[in-house]
């Protein structure tokens, strides 16, 4: 049913323009333009995710997984194709995305929440809960540039988990942080996705996690859909290919 679809991606293509470093060097000495190389990271990808489903996304490094998530989140614009969120709010949980390094953790909570479409009042109402879940202590009032990658992921996860957008995009962050926080974030993740109205896309190299959490798995290879189906169908084929 059309009205049951939370996210629809059709014929998505995303290209990067790269400058050839050798030709940049040449162009400094001869007044000519450096050669431009176009790399297509996502090549004609189509899929749809029903409301309340959990889609795992697998593929070797460089297969276009993170690029595609960033396009769904609105960070990258498609060169071709369409992304239809069907009116749903979306949040991307990824290391290195969305924080202002010079602002404190507390200030970044407000900024991130407003970028996700929440009012400042709504974010401040959840502030104490976010800070408590992140467990950063006095670091919450220090600039984010002083944070380790683990602390960064704790804050990012806490904001996304507590503010609860309709569609959650999770890029390799369930495996970051200390053992205690990993367990806490994993349990919170299970609680969040048990909500039948929430739709989740998870990029991960951890097959056990995807097997347990996901209702379906999409395998991307060199920017194209290689296979999509139930975890027990896709993951064994993908693991055999990778081995």
CATH number for the domain that contains residue 167 = 3.40.50.300
| pTM listed for this prediction | 0.80
C-alpha dist (Å) from residue 113 to 52, 92, 106, 159, 198: 22, 11, 11, 7, 18
For position 188, what pLDDT does the model report? 82
Strands of the 216-221 sheet, one edge to the other: 90-94, 167-171, 199-203, 54-58, 216-221, 224-229
For position 176, what pLDDT does the model report? 59
Ranges under pLDDT 70 in the chain: 1-3, 19-35, 95-98, 173-177
**From CA 207, how far away is CA 167, in angstroms rounded?**
22
For position 126, what pLDDT does the model report? 95
Please count the structural domains in the chain.
1
Six-digit token string for 176: 């970051």
Strands of the 5-19 sheet, one edge to the other: 36-50, 5-19, 80-84
Six-digit token string for 228: 């999509």
Q: What residue numbers bound the domain in which 167 lies?
A: 2-242
For position 20, what pLDDT does the model report? 61
């Amino acid at each position: 049913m059309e009205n049951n679809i939370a996210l629809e991606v059709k014929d998505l293509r995303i290209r990067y323009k790269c400058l050839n470093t050798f030709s940049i060097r040449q162009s400094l000495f001869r007044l000519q333009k450096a050669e431009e190389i176009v790399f297509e990271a996502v090549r004609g990808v189509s899929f749809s995710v029903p409301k309340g489903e959990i889609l795992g996304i697998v593929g070797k490094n460089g297969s276009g997984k993170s690029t595609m998530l960033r396009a769904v989140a609105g960070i990258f614009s498609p060169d071709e194709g369409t992304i239809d969120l069907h009116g749903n709010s979306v949040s991307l949980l990824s290391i290195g995305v969305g924080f202002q390094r010079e602002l404190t953790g507390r200030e970044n909570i407000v900024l991130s929440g407003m970028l996700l479409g929440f009012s400042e009042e709504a974010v401040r109402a959840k502030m104490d809960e976010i800070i408590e879940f992140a467990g950063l202590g006095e670091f919450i009032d220090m600039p984010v540039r002083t944070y380790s990658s683990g602390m960064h992921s704790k804050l990012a996860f806490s904001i996304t988990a507590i503010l609860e957008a309709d569609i959650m995009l999770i890029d390799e962050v369930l495996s970051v942080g200390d053992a205690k926080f990993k367990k806490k974030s994993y349990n919170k993740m299970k609680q969040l996705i048990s909500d039948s109205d929430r739709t989740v896309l998870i990029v991960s190299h951890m097959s056990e996690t995807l097997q347990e959490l996901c209702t379906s798995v999409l395998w991307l290879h060199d920017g194209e859909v290689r296979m999509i189906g139930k975890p027990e169908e896709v993951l064994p084929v993908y693991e055999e290919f990778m081995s």
